Amino acid sequence: MFFYSLGRCIAGILTVGAGALLPGAAFAADPQLSGANTAWVLTSTALVLFMTLPGLALFYGGLVRSNNVLSVLMHCFTIACLMSVMWLVCVYSLAFDNGGNLNAYMGGLGKAFLSGVGASTISGDIPETVFFMFQMTFAIITPALIVGAFVERIKFSAVILFCVIWIVVVYAPVCHWVWGGGWLADKNVMDFAGGLVVHATAGVSALVLAAMLGARKGYPDELSPPHRPAMTMMGACMLWVGWFGFNAGSALAANEGAGMAMLVTHVSAAAASLTWMTIEWIKFGKPSLVGIVTGMVAGLATITPASGFVGPLGALVYGISAGIVCYYGVTLVKRSLKIDDSLDVFAVHGVGGILGILLVAVFASPDLGGMGYAKGMTMGTQFVVQMTGTAATVIWSIIGTIVIIKIVSALVGLRVDDEAETDGLDLSEHGERGYN
């Protein structure tokens, strides 16, 4: 009993009189900072990074030929490193600094290299360093999604140069328009966690890049099936778990909004998985593992922009719609447009993100269990704003991507030669093999 009382006494002295000895004590004394919200956003940051490394890397890696698996892992890992540095150098500032001369369309450079941001700088009620890190993980996964469009045939140098320019030219402006106080934010566009900023930009750019790069050898009749569906399934499971940080973390608070975002995210993913599986089962007589996990990603991408605005009923409709629309989006791209978007980035992420953005205008209605609209907005006016944001994002992504590809092609070239493509990029580009 004596030691228990002594321990309580010492703990009280440390808490009251020696705050400098306790990590975070200075923050705790700041009435603006919420420890709970900071802890949740820190957790969400780790979850979103977990989506790219290892989630997306394994998901994509299992879908390619065995002699290209290391190249896909290398692409995802390198992009994560590159985008982290780019985010620090200037992209965070271009997206979220409001001091630029073109503030409605692009941020300034006042926060380049995190200028003026210290350990005690607050963004809302969390440290700005935490907000910086959370948003960095979005900037990492967005260009990493594009990897699925160009696997098995692109130069590694082209991947690096394309992503470095793309994050500045395409991602940063759209991020600023929607989340950084730009012109779409002023119009009350509803994009909770990245239907426009992440999925539309990546999906549209992926389609353009796949079309300009050209199809893989033997496309579409002589391509090998995914070499390791089990690896893809493991990556998909990591994506599903990580997506809770993606969507629920975007509430930037540990509150009821984060709870609802997590709930609707899970419901949409489950419903889309079952829908995709059912379509395959009916059409081909056998449901596939790759199919059901692809449906899951479609459901997650589609609910992303709406996750903070809709309720469980809306999430169920979102999931079913994602399973149907994205499934037939794959058919449209590969059979009608004849574009070798190798791992269906546009059909799953582009189509899903845009579908989710447009449906927000309907299912945000309180009559359908949604959270409602901004003051002065109705279902009709919100739909017009969502259409405007979609059109602007698609057009900007197309133009920006075409220009970037022309630059990359002129400087380093885009595609490996025929021999390297036949041998696989693991050996020809990286001098390694995924399997003995």
C-alpha to C-alpha distance for 170 and 191, rounded to whole angstroms: 17
Q: Is the pLDDT of residue 370 over 80?
A: yes
What type of residue is 3? F
Distances (CA, A) of 202 to 2, 46, 363, 394: 63, 21, 24, 10
Mean pLDDT for the stretch of residues 170-178: 98
The residue written with tokens 């003995």 in the block is 436
Q: Is the pLDDT of residue 17 over 70?
A: no
Element (H, E) at 328: helix 312-331
Mean pLDDT for the stretch of residues 32-43: 96
Q: Is the pLDDT of residue 19 over 60?
A: no
C-alpha to C-alpha distance for 421 and 155, rounded to whole angstroms: 10
C-alpha to C-alpha distance for 8 and 388, rounded to whole angstroms: 60
- pLDDT tens, residue by residue, 419-435: 999 999 999 999 999 99
Distances (CA, A) of 301 to 262, 297, 331: 13, 6, 18
CB 293 within 8 A of CB 233: yes
Average pLDDT score, the chain: 93
Q: Which residues, 6+ apart, have CB-to-CB distance to 387 below 8 Å?
A: 358
pLDDT at 24: 34
Q: Which residues, 6+ apart, have CB-to-CB distance to 366 below 8 Å?
A: 372
**Sign of the torsion formed by the C-alpha atoms of 336, 340, 343 and 347:** negative
Structural domains in the chain, sorted by start = 34-428 (1.10.3430.10)
Is the pTM higher than 0.85? The answer reads yes
Return phi, psi of residue 156, to 5°: -65, -40
- pLDDT tens, residue by residue, 89-137: 999 999 999 876 678 999 999 999 999 999 999 999 999 999 999 999 9
pLDDT at 221: 86
